[in-house]
Chains A and B, each alone.
Chain A
Amino acid sequence: MNTIIFRTIAPFLAALAGLFSVFVLLRGHNEPGGGFIGGLIAASALAIYGIAWGVAPVRRAIVVHPITLAGFGVFLASVSGFLSFFAGSAFLRGLWISVPFFGTELDLSSVLLFDIGVYFTVVGTISTIGLTLEEPEVD
């Protein structure tokens, strides 16, 4: 799409949406949000960028092939499940630790890692579909 307004704001919109997706992802455990919604937002950010500027810049921006992101997501989620083996508990049992972070307590957990895995899977898969469809066919 080649309206000048859309082309100009698309990168900013995409960057903002990307940032917002991370925010939604991280707040998910206590407030509305989470990996799935975050992933969808990030995917739409990439879609906006892609519609405005074409597929190639998007591919450059995310460096790896989007399906790799999806695979990485499933991998991360599985790994977070296996972490509990080291604590001697069942697969996917949530583990929590608190670390001091600039004067406040930060709660980190295997559940967060799992949610990040969901996020990557959703971004990766949706972008794979979107980008592959957007690319002109090799005729």
Chain B
Amino acid sequence: MPPSAIDGTLLFALAPFVAAALGPWLTGLIGSRAGWILAIVPALLFAHFTTMIPAVAHGDVLAASVPWVSAFGVDYSIRVDGLSLVFALLITGIGALIVIYAGGYLKGHAHQGRFFSFILMFMGAMLGLVLADDLISLFIFWELTSITSFLLIGFDHTRAAARRAALQALVITGGGGLALLAGFLVLMSATGASSMSEVLALGDAVRDSGLYVPILILVLAGAFSKSAQVPLHSWLPNAMEAPTPVSAYLHSATMVKAGVYLLMRMNPALGDTALWTTILPIFGGATFLVGMILAVKNTDLKQILAYTTVASLGLLVMLTGIGTKLAIEGAVLYLIAHALFKGGLFMVAGTIDHETGTREITGLGGLRRAMPVTFAAAALACLSMAGLPPMIGFVAKEVLYDGVWQAGGLSIALLVGLVGNTLMFAVAAILIIKPFFGRKTETPKHAHEGPPSLWLGPLTLSVLALASALLLHDTTHYFVVPMASAVYGAPLSIDLHLIPTKISAPVVLTVITIASGIGLVMVFSALRAAFAGLVNGIGWGPDRGFDQVLRSLVFLASGLSDILQPGRMKGYVMITFVVTAATLLIPMWVFGEWPRFTFTWPDAPFYFWVVFAIAAVSLWAVLVSATRLIAIVTLGIQGTMVAIIFMLYGAPDLSFTQFMVEVLSVIILALVMTRLNLSPSDHRSWGTRLRDGTVAIACGAGFALLLIAVVEQPFDPRLSDFFAEYSRVIAHGRNIVNVIIVDFRALDTLGEISVVMTAGLAILALIRLRSRHRRFDPTRPDLDDGESLKEAARDA
């Protein structure tokens, strides 16, 4: 392919975002048919990525990059190798089918345009994630998928269950994303690499780094939360609150595989250590089994599919952890197979729900005549899911059995794989037998075949699951080999056969799986009851744990704000003053920097002493005043005297301002007094007075001591010299104070006046709100600070 095409991919990969912007508008214009038009975008992208297949199969890595936030060394860069190309093809290919499907599924929904917008946004984010080379941009796309997933799960936002599920998914996957970011940052600082290509080129450097363990744990936290590994899996079944196209696309085929993608991507750099080959199989195996047990237990079609997805993700993690060539081939094949059958089965479940009005598997039956095309699609998908020939799922299971067998023979992993696959077989059989065979049951809606938009997607995916197995040689050459090589970190040569050529361990294991699977189908109801009993017996699960964590968080937060914001003015004022006094006094005490009191008697004229005396007397008057109003006014007198002192010492601007501030604060304080139903005089007990007085004196002494200490320092004239020299020359003003305010430090002033205005707005809102509050609840006491609440005489 020409070298310029990959540069174009940089731009094309953003096309879903453009389509997302146009989605609502187009839907407003032509309604649900917009799905067919919007699907052109992912379809074209799919076509674009298919042109890269030959080059990638040849072993090339295509890359392109443009600087994004160059100040932080963040690039927008893409890297297309076998792994990212298969993912890109799945995202765009299934994405096109899903958009068409959503056109039919949500036909007539009031917010269908919004839905298209969200799902295309997700597509862009997911595509960015798998293509991203730069670690930081990978993280951004990663979180973007969490956010779009939140929007899509909560799409039906009027239902509380949907909102809870959306929040849960966001908290778990978003939290995991933050861990991933931390992991990337540690990785970047430990190795200096900022992109995947650099990390992969490091060889053993990451494994040998002293920070390998924290990097691994953080990256695994991100990957496990995204790919729903036990015990972080509960968000995925709950995410089934989303409309079915979302479940098919995000929560089976693409987003939940992001964690697996990341593990596969970083396998060459992080894998093949004792820690990796222990943690991954343990978590993956546990997830596989727990997922299957819960899948058997459930009766809702979507829940069953969700739990089998959890299980499949566990299987993929387990295989990636085992990390041998065959295990990775098995993981790659199973990932492709799973995306094809599970995406299709979800759409089938949605179609059944859409056309019959129920998803309860116990209430469905005999649909194969009513919905023949859907039945055909479901049958092929279930064959693949059960791991039966001639489907790609069969090949995947053969290879993964081979991988697990050759890695450790008769091991726990093999047992887990055998049990899990047997249960998977049984569930797949039930999924096709219960709804489609047997006697036709009565359903809320009269069952009939859905429109083309509803069966096109599942049918295409199922046929692909068949075709990829029939054309196994090409599938292997073009997809499996390049992807497995990228995951393994070295070129692999793979030769696969649809029909086993000799009797070997995998064949025996498959026979055991099928035989015991058929046995389980026979007793499926009993099995379901047993598992339900087991799960109910345990009672507690991570889903309930999530609620408990959130509840305690809310409890803690409200408790904390009850302490910090009790709504008592007196408390706020007390805290403010105590903290002020502490910040003033404690540093001086700790560092022993008390002022030295090199006190000289000021040589001042007599009128200075008069002003000073008035200030002192008015302070005394504040303390002894009979009513609060007198206290406020006398405090104003004291402030005015200070303003005069400023004037006498040659600071006219300061003096002016001080004077005006005093006048206005007296007015405003007096007005506030009339608003609060305070008694005109002060009724504090002597104990309270003592406490308040101590705080007041501590605060005042703190300021005084600090000022004295500051003045004792030698005066550094550099700033004042600068302003005196340049105020006139470059700022054309003689009044230095004003020049500083409006010119030298104008940006500060702009910030300050914005704060002043905002404070004004807030006060306005507060007073208005309070009067409205009173109107609604006139009995509520306005002030509850232990003061007298008796009606105060209003100063009208």
Binding site for B on A (CB under 8 A): 24, 28-37, 40-41, 43-44, 47, 51, 66-67, 70-71, 73-74, 77-78, 81, 91-92, 94, 96, 107, 109, 111, 114-115, 117-118, 121-122, 124-126, 128-130, 132-134, 137-139
CA A82 to CA B657, docked complex, whole Å: 28
CB of B671 within 8 A of CB of A115, answer no
Which residue on chain B has the smallest CB distance to residue A43?
B664
Report Cα–Cα, A114/B734, bound state, in Å. Answer: 17
Contact A77 B660 (CB under 8 A): no
When distances are taken between beta carbons in the complex, the residues of chain A under 8 Å from B415 are none
Contact present for A126 and B664 (CB under 8 Å): yes
B743 touches A94 (CB 8 A): yes
Q: Which residues of A contact B689 (CB under 8 A)?
A: none
Judging by beta carbons under 8 Å apart, are A132 and B738 in contact? no
| B735 partner residues in chain A, CB cutoff 8 A | 28-34
Q: Given that A94-B731, A111-B731, A139-B771 are known contacts, is A81 also in contact with B738, CB under 8 Å in the complex?
A: no
Q: In the complex, what residue of chain A is closest to B794 when comparing beta carbons?
A: A136
- B10 to chain A minimum Cβ distance, whole angstroms, is 32
> Which residues does B use to contact A, with CB under 8 Å?
652-653, 656-657, 660-661, 663-664, 667-668, 671-672, 674-675, 731-735, 737-739, 741-743, 746-747, 749-750, 753-754, 756-757, 759-761, 763-764, 767-768, 771-772, 774-775, 778
In the complex, A129 Cα to B763 Cα: how many Å? Answer: 7
Contact of A125 among B652, B671, B732, B756 (CB under 8 A): B756
A1 to B739, CA, bound (A): 40
Given A67-B764, A133-B671, A121:B743 Cβ within 8 A: no
A129 to B765, CA, bound (A): 10
The 7 A-B residue pairs with the shortest CB-CB distance, nearest first, are A125-B760, A40-B660, A32-B652, A133-B671, A29-B733, A121-B753, A34-B738
**Are B750 and A132 interface neighbours, CB within 8 A?**
no
Interface of A is mostly: helix
Q: How far is the CB of B491 from chain A (nearest CB, A)?
A: 56
Judge whether A37 and B660 touch: CB under 8 Å. Answer: yes
Establish whether residues A115 and B742, one from each chain, have CB atoms under 8 Å apart when the complex forms.
yes
Q: Across the interface, which residues of A come within 8 angstroms of B675, CB to CB?
A: 133, 137
Can you report 16 residue pairs joining A to B where beta carbons are below 8 Å apart? Answer: A28-B735, A29-B735, A30-B733, A30-B735, A33-B656, A40-B661, A41-B660, A44-B663, A94-B732, A94-B746, A111-B731, A114-B750, A115-B741, A126-B760, A130-B664, A133-B671
- Once the chains bind, are A44 and B667 in contact (CB under 8 Å)? yes
* A31, A35, A70, A73 pick with most chain B CB within 10 angstroms: A70
Closest to A120 in B: B753
Complex-state Cα separation, A33 to B672, whole angstroms: 29
Besides the contacts A73-B757, A139-B775, A139-B778, what 14 more A-B pairs have beta carbons closer than 8 Å?
Answer: A30-B733, A37-B653, A40-B657, A47-B667, A70-B760, A71-B757, A74-B753, A78-B750, A107-B732, A129-B668, A130-B664, A132-B763, A133-B668, A133-B671
Please tell me if the beta carbons of A44 and B664 are within 8 angstroms of each other in the complex.
yes
Q: How far is the CA of A124 from the CA of B759 in the complex (A)?
A: 11
Chain B residues closer than 8 Å to A139, beta-carbon distance: 771, 774-775, 778
Q: Which one of A32, A44, A111, A134 contacts B671 once the chains associate, using CB atoms below 8 Å?
A: A134
CB nearest neighbor in A for B761: A67
Are B778 and A121 closer than 8 Å at their CB atoms?
no
Closest residue to A34 on the B side, CB-wise? B738
Q: Residue of A at shortest CB range from B734?
A: A30
Main secondary structure of the interface of B (DSSP, over half): helix
Known contacts A74-B754, A128-B760; A114 and B767 CB within 8 A of each other: no
Shortest CB distance A83–B (Å)? 12
Nearest B residue to A129 by beta-carbon distance? B763
B771 touches A81 (CB 8 A): no
Q: Is the CB of B738 within 8 A of A28?
A: yes
Q: Which chain A residues border B737 with CB–CB below 8 Å? A: 32, 34
B775 is contacted by which of A31, A70, A124, A138 (Cβ under 8 Å)? Answer: A138
A67-B764, A81-B750 are contacts. A32–B653 as well, Cβ < 8 Å?
yes
Q: A77-B750, A133-B668 known; A128 and B771 CB under 8 Å?
A: no
- How far does the Cβ of A76 sit from chain B's closest Cβ, in whole Å? 10
* Contact for B746 among A70, A81, A107, A121, CB less than 8 A: A81
Give the most central of B746, B764, B778: most A CB within 10 Å.
Answer: B746
Contact between A33 and B763, CB atoms less than 8 A apart:
no
Which listed residue (B672, B733, B741, B747) contacts A36, Cβ 8 A?
B741
- Taking a contact as CB atoms under 8 Å apart, the answer to whether B771 and A115 are in contact is no
Return the contact of B742 from the options A34, A66, A132, A134 (Cβ within 8 A): A34
Residues of A within 8 A of B759 (CB): 125
B657 touches A130 (CB 8 A): no
The answer on a CB contact under 8 Å between A121 and B731 is no
Chain B nearest Cβ from A28, distance in angstroms: 5
In the bound complex, what is the Cα–Cα distance between A59 and B228 (angstroms)? 62
Residues of chain A contacted by B750 (CB below 8 angstroms): 74, 77-78, 81, 92, 114
Q: Which of B667, B734, B760, B772 has the most CB of A within 10 A?
A: B760
Instruction: Determine if A128 and B764 form an interchain contact, defined as CB atoms under 8 angstroms apart.
Output: yes
Q: Point out the residues of chain B lying under 8 angstroms from A124, CB to CB.
A: 757, 760
Residues of A within 8 A of B664 (CB): 40, 43-44, 47, 126, 130
Kindly report which residue of chain A lies nearest to residue B757, judged by CB atoms. A70
Indicate if the CB atoms of A122 and B756 lie closer than 8 Å. Answer: yes
Chain A nearest Cβ from B652, distance in angstroms: 4
Shortest B759–chain A CB gap in Å is: 7
Chain A residues, CB < 8 A from B746: 81, 92, 94, 111, 114
Cα–Cα, bound, A55→B746 (Å): 34
B774 contacts A128, CB within 8 Å? no
Asked if residues B733 and A37 are in contact (CB atoms below 8 Å), the reply is no
Please judge, given known A-B contacts A32-B653, A132-B767, whether A118 and B668 are in contact too, CB under 8 Å. no
Q: Give chain A residues whose Cβ lies under 8 Å from the Cβ of B674.
A: 133
CA distance A121 to B407 in the complex (A): 75
Q: Contact between B742 and A118 (Cβ–Cβ < 8 Å)?
A: yes
Task: List residues of chain A with CB within 8 A of the CB of B652.
Answer: 32
Tell me the nearest residue of chain A to B795, going by C-beta. Answer: A1
The reply to whether B732 and A74 contact each other, CB–CB distance below 8 Å, is no
